[in-house]
Amino acid sequence: MTFTDNVPSTTSGFKAGNFSCDEPRRIKVVHIGAGFAGICAGIRLLQRVPNIDLTIYDCNGGIGGSIDIRDSLVMSLLTASESLPFMIFLQPEWSAFCAPGPEILEYLKSAVKKWKLMPYIKLSHKLIRSEWNEQTGKWQLTLEQTKSMALAKYRRTGNFPRQACAQWKELGGTGEGGPSPTWKWKDTIKSWKAKNVAVIGVIVPTLQPKVAHLTNFVRGKTWIAADKYTDEDKKKFNDNPKVYSDYQREIEKEINSVYPLTIRGTSWTWPGDSRKDLGMCSDSLPNWFNLLGTNAATATGSLLIIMEHQVDYVVKAVSKLQRERLKSMETVLVGKCQSWYKMGKEDGRVAALWPGSPLHALKTLANPRWEDFDYEPLDEGVKNRFCWLGDGTTIADEIPGSDNAWYLDPEVIDIPPGEFGFVSARVGEKNVENFAVLGQASEKAAEKATVPGQRSDSN
């Protein structure tokens, strides 16, 4: 082994990197859209990825995504308000079980303010074109009249408005009487007072008083909860966070328990014929991640919880690109009822939903399958696949005054609950009970394995 410029190398041409193994290289990430997904991504990326150059673009003049562009007099999400907040930013101040649009938008604005995201958000920037540059390993984005280069890019997309308009044209529909998705209502709804309006779907209660006549077309029975929270309810939630947390938890449990009712007579398939891996990554699109895309949404449960776990997945992928000095990573990989879940067809696979329960989705997204990706190293001409390990040092070794005993930090040590260690305040009694049950099961298994004359499976 020889040393050149204090960097060890060998005669075989393998060369170590001239940097510390935990030295974060500068990495640029772009997110398209400043709605729930963009805001959540901004919070987590800035929290977990050091030395990041982050930009969140949105074509609208304000944050909120689809929440901002829908008319606030009409917009009201038909889901429990308690399923809306980010897990890290609860909101006990909702006025109703189904929160109205203005409150949802204000909640998002408060999240942006709390985590100081506005410097990273560029509004009124519409994505016109994106093109992957093989040579640089970056996405070249054209946004209106400006261009930006990004190493990694991901976005939140939807397909329902385009699909509805396509089906309208197939039926021979033309002119201003065609379908209008709710995000286009903002500048037109005030002129509908004397009009007859047909709604396909369930956005009805707040629209009905504002038109001459409203007809609602729905495929099945739809139930709308109109309960409002009293001042006493909100005070109780604010004064006792545990009361609100328990209330939210019970709602989530009830919603998740409905899943078995949604799979009767339905044909589910996993991505053998899917165009996206786990609803996020597409082949031929390196360093590209799509939030809440194909097969990402679950039939029941909170959509935002799924989105938050997808963001965690992407953060891990970005961290891998940064940590291991990678240039790119690319994935390699029903009953009869007409529904947009099945691309408007009566038969066929469910193309829009996750083929499993909400809990199944969360468990699957918890650990990325790195073996499903092909990788290209950042450093050209370097044969050593462990080059990212650097020169054998860490930042704490190189910078005087650094904490070189960080591994003793209580936040770093994962102390299990039990008599032999203190129980963290974050660990509830239920987890302690589960830990005890697992311990008893292990002891019984060990006893069974040591019974004379009985074969042990420990080998």
pLDDT in the model for residue 249: 87
Tell me, yes or no, whether 16 lies in a domain.
no
Are residues 238 and 120 part of one domain? yes
Question: From CA 147, how far away is CA 129, in angstroms rounded?
Answer: 10
Phi, psi of 94 (to 5 degrees): -60, 145
Tell me, yes or no, whether 384 lies in a domain.
no
Question: From CA 420, how far away is CA 284, in angstroms rounded?
Answer: 51
Instruction: Report residues of the chain scoring pLDDT below 50.
Output: 1-8, 70-75, 77-78, 157-161, 174-175, 270-274, 334-335, 337-342, 350, 420-428, 430, 445, 448-459
Amino acid, single-letter form, for residue 105: L
Are residues 349 and 289 part of one domain? yes
Residue 52 CB coordination number (10 Å): 19
Which of 323, 353, 377 is at the close of a domain? 377
pLDDT in the model for residue 38: 94
Are residues 338 and 238 part of one domain? yes
Write the pLDDT tens digit of every residue in 122-154: 998 999 999 999 999 999 999 885 556 666 655
Are residues 30 and 110 part of one domain? yes
Per the structure, the count of domains in the chain is 3
**Domain boundaries, position 286:** 26-157+228-377
Tell me, yes or no, whether 399 lies in a domain.
no
Tell me, yes or no, whether 409 lies in a domain.
no
Are residues 202 and 186 part of one domain? yes
Write the pLDDT tens digit of every residue in 221-268: 666 555 788 899 989 999 998 998 888 888 888 888 887 777 665 555
Tell me, yes or no, whether 396 lies in a domain.
no
Distances (CA, A) of 373 to 136, 279, 320, 378: 19, 14, 12, 15
Question: From CA 34, how far away is CA 57, in angstroms rounded?
Answer: 7
Are residues 146 and 266 part of one domain? yes
Contacting residues for 85 by C-beta, under 8 A, at least 6 apart? 91, 107, 304
Which of 377, 400, 434 is at the close of a domain? 377
Which of 358, 377, 396 is at the close of a domain? 377
Are residues 74 and 117 part of one domain? yes
Contacting residues for 337 by C-beta, under 8 A, at least 6 apart? 219, 346
CATH number at residue 243: 3.50.50.60
Are residues 45 and 173 part of one domain? no
Asked if residue 264 lies in contact with residue 258, where contact means CB atoms within 8 angstroms, the answer is no
Are residues 242 and 211 part of one domain? no
Q: Taken in order 346, 351, 354, 355, is the CA torsion positive or negative? A: positive
Are residues 300 and 328 part of one domain? yes
Distance from the first to the final alpha carbon of the chain: 40
Tell me, yes or no, whether 389 lies in a domain.
no
**Could you tell me how far CA 223 lies from the centroid of its own chain?**
27
Are residues 347 and 304 part of one domain? yes
Beta bridge partners of 149: 140
Are residues 170 and 148 part of one domain? no
Tell me, yes or no, whether 118 lies in a domain.
yes
Contacting residues for 324 by C-beta, under 8 A, at least 6 apart? 388
